Structure 1
């Protein structure tokens, strides 16, 4: 009789433990990059200034951060970096081979939020257990799982974009130009900051 009573209690304790442990694990918030094993939730943004008006921006998500979150936070960081350095709008840079190649953005049939900016195509890194990190260039080839990566097996995402920043009104003649203030206003309500300790 006593053992019959213990079974439901043990099951409840296991469920409660799983909920408690799961509650401790959160998706990477919008924060400066924290390495794995560092204080707080690992992942976050970083950037490298290549020239006064040129930057490489990255956002590294942990195992709980979705691809959409990583891409949105990268776009938000690109806008924030633009404004922090006294610029108004930015353009994602695409790399070309020695001869000029016209690039046409074709929507990925399985994924295409881009937050309303069709030229916003970051470079992706994705981690799969047992395989390590793989990288994908959005301007070349099919979607990043095209080479055999199934999105369900991806454990973490990292996105990178190179941008050039500019001052003044956003030119209507340049379709890839992105208004930094408009991005921050649009995505700001969706940005989750780290919880205070």
Structure 2
């Protein structure tokens, strides 16, 4: 039992903040839509809290802004959605019997099987460039966001 728990923990301990290697995988993705607009998303694996997924999307937005020489970015749209998957192991029936002097017995069991897992994905539309005001609703200082969230991102890498 302990070995199984250790193996499962090892599978779940991979890096959380990373580029998504393929569609449907967890990690970040960003797409430049125009010279000043980007779509930035982060999909968490199951077990990653919604707040963490939202913070990682903001961290990636800050990285995108800095990489394009922008001191700040404005979030013009945001959406976080739960994605639930269900694994169906199918029904199973078991019949058993046993005895021990002077008793004996039989039993029948039925299980529907299956498990549900929920993960979160956040998608942001951000705007960078000279038209982004210094202060307004949903305007973030890119370096400040990156500095404030860096410890959390680093902590989720091991």
Is the TM-score greater than 0.5? Answer: yes
In 2, Cα distance between equivalents of 1:175 and 1:44: 27
Closer/same/farther in 2, CA of residues 186 and 27 from structure 1, 3 Å limit:
same
In 2, Cα distance between equivalents of 1:68 and 1:175: 20
Q: Which runs of 4+ in 1 moved over 2 A?
A: 34-37, 166-170, 192-195
> What SS class does the counterpart of residue 187 from structure 1 fall into?
helix
2:120 is aligned to 157
**Larger RCO (alpha carbons 8 Å, 6+ apart):** 2
The structure with more helix, counted as a fraction of residues: 1
**Aligned-residue offset at 1:168:** 9.4
In 1, Cα distance between equivalents of 2:23 and 2:9: 18
The answer to whether the 8 A contact 2:72-2:128 is kept is yes
Q: Counterparts of 1:157-176 in structure 2 under 5 Å?
A: 157-167=120-130, 171-172=134-135, 174-176=136-138
In 2, Cα distance between equivalents of 1:188 and 1:74: 12
2:11 maps to 1:24: yes
**Aligned-residue offset at 1:169:** 9.4
TM-score scaled to structure 1, two decimals?
A: 0.57
The structure with more strand, counted as a fraction of residues: 2
In 2, Cα distance between equivalents of 1:27 and 1:126: 21
**Aligned-residue offset at 1:28:** 5.2
1:179 is aligned to 141
2:66 maps to 1:83: yes
TM-score scaled to structure 2, two decimals?
A: 0.70
Unmatched segments (≥5 aa) in structure 1:
1-13, 95-121, 131-152
> What SS class does the counterpart of residue 77 from structure 1 fall into?
helix
In 1, Cα distance between equivalents of 2:5 and 2:20: 27
**Aligned-residue offset at 1:73:** 0.5
1:98 is aligned to none
2:68 maps to 1:60: no
**Aligned-residue offset at 1:162:** 0.1
In 2, Cα distance between equivalents of 1:89 and 1:156: 29
In 2, Cα distance between equivalents of 1:35 and 1:161: 19
2:7 maps to 1:15: no
> What SS class does the counterpart of residue 93 from structure 1 fall into?
strand
CA-atom RMSD, angstroms?
Answer: 2.7
2:153 is aligned to 191
